[in-house]
Structure 1
Amino acid sequence: MNTNTDLANRALAHIGEMRISDIDDAENKAARVCKGCIQQVIDEVLREHRWNCAIKRVALSQLALAPEHGFARAFQLPGDFLRLLEVNGEQFGESDEFFEIEEGARLLTNADKAEIRYVRRIPVVEFDPLLAKAVSAALAAEICVPLNLNLQMQAQLEGLKARAVSKAQRIDAIEVGSREVRPIERLLGNSLLIRARGARPRNPLRYQLP
């Protein structure tokens, strides 16, 4: 089980610093530095990738006050919102509808509903092991200069974080199933024409209409 102190100690180990007993220890410089930036680091790492452990679905509540112009409706985003993934079943940025996030708290749209999937801020105890690894590396890179002024080590730790995120992306590509994996095959396989023929083509890129 992860705690903020655990993540801080992993980060301190990366840069060769002594362990701390509690990240809330105001008398310890390393604890103060870690505490001062850990939440920002966590939020940044969570926003960088669609971590499965942090994804949630929710139907948003429409706000009584509509936008002054540009959109017909405004919906309240959740308090733990960090990054939008899908709106009404379509990936954000690839939807036929126009959406916009304003003030970090409202989703503006002309649609009459807003059902979203999003990356949320989650408790440290819920971190996936790869997320914990990425956060500890990112935190180490953040505290490296304030604690030991080592710019070369900071660059190495940024690389370690990038590799952890990349590994998570590869694993997620397997775990998320048909929505993100091999989209061309998924779309063709779901078409009415192919289903009417009673079989899904083994290589959809070679499929030709009759």
Structure 2
Amino acid sequence: MAPARSAGDGHPVLRAVRGLPGRIPDPAGRRPRVLKQNRGNGGIGVWKVEADGAGGVRVLEARGGAVARVMPLADFMAERLVAFEPGGGLVDQPFQARLLDGMIRCYMSGGQVVGFGHQMVRALAPAEAGPAGPRLYSGPDDPRFQRLRAMMERDWTPGLARRLDIEPDDLPVIWDADFLLGPKSTAGEDSYVLCEINVSAVFPIPDEAPDALAATTLKRLASHRRKRAPAS
């Protein structure tokens, strides 16, 4: 089965285990791959996979305390069969070399950025990188992230709504999107690579966000009342 395209970021979603040999190791032979289950938390169900140089693969799960394993690709494929049950699949992404530069979480209310969280993540990093740092929260006007904010509000989120065939007002009152830093452009600007989207486990949130969430909720309630009001 040919890989489908995941919403918004262009990474393939493998829908059948037989698609793995064509993706693992990296067909371009340049860098490790990261495979993710459709759902998970705490790094569970996220694997960094790379060729070991002897015909097998080296596999490291992102959950805390995981130890890298070297195994035949066929064994790794057998372990992943459960991920391809109906409704499942694995998102396939290239490993991001700038992982140690941190992850940026965009807190969203509908299509509006309402805050940020920046964290020095260490999942899938070598042990010598040390422990992860706390997530540091800031409001939507944080000057470090205004380019990302503009991309989220003007391009990525409207594109997500179109791809899912929903109205922007159908997006959750509170959700977030995590980004890693990709390669810099020739002008020295950062690029951003979507890591994951969270809807059911978003809190805690920045102190600046609750007022915006309340405003979104009130706006939607008012819109709902207008739609239900009898015609005069």
TM range (shorter): under 0.3
Which structure dedicates a bigger proportion of its chain to strand? 2
Higher relative contact order (Cα pairs below 8 Å, separated by 6+ residues): 1
TM-score (norm 1): 0.22
Larger radius of gyration: 1
